[in-house]
Amino acid sequence: MPASDTALIVIDVQTDFCPGGALAVAEGDAIIPAINAMMPEFGMVVLTQDWHPANHSSFAANHPGAEAFSLTDMPYGPQVLWPTHCVQGSPGAEFHPGLTTAPADLIIRKGFHPEIDSYSAFFENDRTTPTGLEGYLRSRGAKSLVLTGLATDFCVAYSALDAARLGFDVTVRLDACRAIDLNGSLADALTQMRAAGVTLEG
């Protein structure tokens, strides 16, 4: 019987983040069988989805002369400028076709405000504007969260750190995640998650 107070959070398993996509994470699709197999073990399943307008400020293409993966300063702090990805309604924004979506109780779309990116499932990158996920989980009685998905060192790590800060018991299943590892970002993310009390498994 699935634990009623434990939720599985599946982060951004979308076509653009998998091999062949606009912002492909190496082996991003390799985690899908493990995630699908985990879903029946949980009383709650939440999927998140990057959902950017074409004019999003985090896209390098919207900053003339800027290189993809370079850094810029936004009002909320440093921001990586990404290749255009997960544009609202585009094939790349869809969940990977191999991902089982029927068990999802909730789909959270994030990054839809043009002026601010949103890595975390809980807050936009100003770390204060909520997505509404916390309220949903509280109302369902969730106390423990297990996170999987893409990418370990960005959206998964930001979500895990925010969840820990909010008082949830947080586990990241590293075997069901893959990383971008941009300039050492994976090692940094793992260090931060451990320091915040996040359990790293797999």
Residues 116 and 129: beta-carbon distance below 8 Å:
yes
CA angle 26-169-173, nearest 5°? 20
**59 touches 53 (CB < 8 A):** no
Could you list the active site residues? Answer: 12, 110, 155
Q: Is 21 helix (H, G, I), strand (E, B) or coil?
A: coil
Cα-based distances in Å from 134 to 102, 156, 167 = 22, 15, 10
Q: Cα dihedral sign for 148, 44, 120, 57? A: positive
Q: Give the CA angle between residues 11, 36, 170 to the nearest 5°.
A: 45
Handedness of CA 29, 30, 31, 32 (dihedral sign): positive
The single-letter DSSP state of residue 66 is: P
